[in-house]
Amino acid sequence: MNKAELVADVADRMGDSKQKSEEAVNAVFEAIVAALKKGDEVRLPAFGVFDVKDTAARTARNPQTGAEVKVPAGKKARFKPGKALKETLN
């Protein structure tokens, strides 16, 4: 499912226009991104948790040339599914 399909599904479920549904979906994404930027985690009961993990600097290898490449430390977003979501999928 891509974003346009998500917006259409939300519009159908809400019985509202696609434009208002797209605004709602965008607002949710923006709120999640803003919280992650601040270093907060976003907990959605029965769905899961979005959080930010620090990654250490490391040395990687370019698969084409075999040359070593230094990868700087950084941050990455991750999602941990909640118990109810796991049970629904299994």
pLDDT band at 70 (very low <50, low <70, confident <90, very high): very high
Domain ranges of the chain: 3-89
> Are 35 and 42 in contact, with CB atoms under 8 Å apart?
yes
Instruction: Identify the CATH class of 3-89.
Output: few secondary structures
User: Residue 18's pLDDT is what?
Assistant: 93
> Are 5 and 18 in contact, with CB atoms under 8 Å apart?
no
What H or E segment, with its residue span, contains residue 6? helix 3-14
User: Residue 72's pLDDT is what?
Assistant: 96
User: Residue 61's pLDDT is what?
Assistant: 95
User: Residue 80's pLDDT is what?
Assistant: 96
pLDDT band at 62 (very low <50, low <70, confident <90, very high): very high
